[in-house]
Amino acid sequence: MKVNQENEETKLENILNKAAMVTKTVIITTVNAAWTTPNSIFDLFLEGFRSGNQAQALLNHLVVGAMDQKAYTRCLELHPHCIALTTEGVDFSGKANFMSEDYLKIVWRKLEFQRTVLEMGYSFIFTDADILWFRDPFRRFYSDADFQIACDHFGFNSTDLNNSPNSGFIYVRSNNMTIQFYKFWCKSREAYPSKHDQDVLNMIKFDPFISKIGLKIRFLDTAYFGGICEPSKDLNVVCTMHANCCTSLETKAHGLQMMIDDWKIYMTKPGNRTKPHPWTSARYCSK
């Protein structure tokens, strides 16, 4: 299917409007061909919602940005809200090794997509596709912050800028502060051309510009928003789990499947109660 680039913005507006919650909030993710092959990461991502605790309805609000034509075609086979994010002269379809040139292009294209959604007036949760959603996360967000981000490692204080943010899961309310911040974040790439978006965020989070525009940043507790780097210890409260610290597509996919298997075992227990225990995937991906 040929994508008409001239209509991309109109198509995105229409898709966002269809997918939005009453609060004009959407869930967004990005994928490329390597992530959307059958029985790979994107399939597991969707399965996470369906196997979650009342999480399947959230798929109605998910908008998928496809980075190449193959990913766009595959997305349309599986999900109603897909938008082509193809870039002329750039091939985003292959496996991008961590910190390779293609990897950096992909992560910055992802950030530009988020900025566009904000500028269109939509708040969003951005989620990497190697994150499984087991519960509705909204009740775990803070009411006093417009930019909230998950962590690789959480230091027990949600306002401490020394926390280690992970840009794979972000909740952002659309307003003038967050739009200014995203412009600043994207612009800061020029100062750190060899860094990815997460590293740049770690550098600019202390910048006086953040205080100047009045943006309040909160870091999300890994007890609710866990990952392989620092797993949630309690399946009774976990909302999401991220296959971070698994660096290849193969280990990510295997780790995600292990998480789903752990979750399904938990869901079969009477009353869904279980003692805290390590995720099987944490042992696998740490090898």
Domains and CATH numbers, the chain: 5-219 (3.90.550)
Order across the sheet with 240-242: list the strands. Answer: 131-133, 240-242, 225-227
Between β-strands 82-84 and 164-172, what pairing exists: parallel, antiparallel or unpaired?
A: unpaired
Q: What is the pLDDT of residue 2?
A: 44
Chain-centroid distance, C-alpha 13: 20
Q: Would you write out the chain's pLDDT as a tens digit for each of its 287 residues?
A: 444 555 778 899 999 999 999 999 999 999 999 999 999 999 999 999 999 999 999 999 999 999 999 999 999 999 999 999 866 555 555 554 444 555 667 777 889 999 999 999 999 999 999 999 999 999 999 999 999 999 999 998 999 999 999 999 999 999 999 999 999 999 998 888 777 788 899 999 999 999 999 999 999 999 999 999 999 999 999 999 999 988 888 999 999 999 999 999 999 887 766 666 668 876 666 54
Q: What is the pLDDT of residue 104?
A: 66
Q: What is the pLDDT of residue 45?
A: 98
Q: Which residue has the tokens 């996360």?
A: 137
Statement: the pTM of the whole predicted model exceeds 0.85? yes
CA dihedral for 252, 254, 256, 259, sign (positive or negative)? negative
In angstroms, rounded to a whole number, what is the distance separating the alpha carbons of residues 91 and 79?
23
Q: Which of the 8 DSSP states describes residue 100?
A: S
